[in-house]
């Protein structure tokens, strides 16, 4: 189960990040990296890393 993110106007929505991560895994056969998530979400690396950590929790 995913942990609920804290309220933040800058943190990407976890459901969007989850969809991106699941699609990447289905297409590539590998888990998405924070750097790849950064590009897909169009956010900074720290925000992508936070979203990635939420998905990995």
User: Is residue 37 one of the residues assigned to a domain?
Assistant: yes
Q: Mean pLDDT across the chain, nearest whole number?
A: 82
Q: Is the pLDDT of residue 21 over 60?
A: yes
User: Is residue 50 one of the residues assigned to a domain?
Assistant: yes
Residues 48-57, mean pLDDT to the nearest whole number: 89
d(CA 1, CA 56): 10
Per-residue confidence band for 11, with pLDDT thresholds at 50, 70 and 90:
low
Q: Is the pLDDT of residue 2 over 80?
A: no
- The 10s digit of each residue's pLDDT in 26-44 is 999 999 999 999 999 999 9
Number of domains present in the structure of the chain = 1
Question: Helices (H), strands (E): how many in the chain?
Answer: 3, 0
User: Is residue 8 one of the residues assigned to a domain?
Assistant: no
């Amino acid at each position: 189960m995913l942990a609920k993110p804290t309220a933040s106007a800058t943190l990407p929505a976890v459901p969007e990040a989850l969809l991106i991560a699941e699609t990447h895994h289905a297409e590539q056969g590998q888990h998405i990296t924070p750097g790849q998530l950064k590009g897909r979400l169009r956010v900074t690396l720290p925000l992508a890393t936070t979203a990635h950590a939420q998905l990995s929790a």
